Amino acid sequence: MEFLKWRLESKTAIITINRPPANALSNSLLHELDGLLSELENNTDVRVIVLHGEGRFFSAGADIKEFTVVQSGEQFSKLARDGQQLFEKMERFPKPIIASIHGAALGGALELAMSCHIRLVSETAKLGLPELQLGIIPGFAGTQRLPKYVGTAKAAEMMFTSEPISGLEAVQWGLATRAFPEEVLMEQTMKLAKKIEKKSPVSLKAVIKLLNYSKSAQFYQGVENEATMFGEVFDTNDAKEGIQAFIEKREPNFTGQ
């Protein structure tokens, strides 16, 4: 694997996102993650999975430069559906997945973290969906999962302003379960993982399956609509301007077209 590494500690598989400097989520990285999850699902030594990032960030989000090589809204919609499919696989994964978030989890990285069963954060971590700053929208089910955790109004504020919240705020808002000083985050994450790994794999699998029944048909319709609109928005001039401005590190000039 090029962008991921993993090790087994007791019965917990620790997956590390390792794509410096910002652990951006490229298509290749997500493909690696899909394959690794399939491998770990069949590994009877693994009871729990911890997902975290190497270096300064959990992940700063999608690799925006890859967006410049996609030619059509239809291709962007397919890109969104592929990501949605992987993150749905994670949410339905029969073994608990814990996201251990430090530094930042922005855009697609927060969508990745929201597909994990539990999120632990450093107190100073930054979590957000800043896509509107680029003239685009979340595409990996972020518009549907975020309101489940923080409510519609707070989700709207986070997306409309593109401003991240801190790890402490994420706990207060219900997006994460616990916040710790960054220097002890992984230690505390492993303490939780080792509590969970002692439970019956059969019981854990059953509870995960039951938790997913809480998602309604409206959720899945929303996810499908999100993928379609993801592509439609990418066909606009504002999206092209926003992405180019991001790459050029300047403020975008949106015209509403």
Catalytic residue numbers?
111, 131
Record the tokens describing residue 167, joined without a space.
């790890």
What sections of the chain are H helices per DSSP?
Answer: 27-41, 64-67, 73-91, 108-114, 142-150, 152-161, 167-173, 185-196, 201-211, 217-234, 237-248
Which residue from 50, 51, 64 is spatially nearest to 22, judged by alpha carbons? 64
Give the integer Cα–Cα distance in Å for 103 and 118: 17
Give the integer Cα–Cα distance in Å for 195 and 98: 12
- The answer to whether 2 touches 26, Cβ cutoff 8 Å, is no
Burial class for 202, CB neighbours closer than 10 Å (0-12, 13-18, 19+): exposed
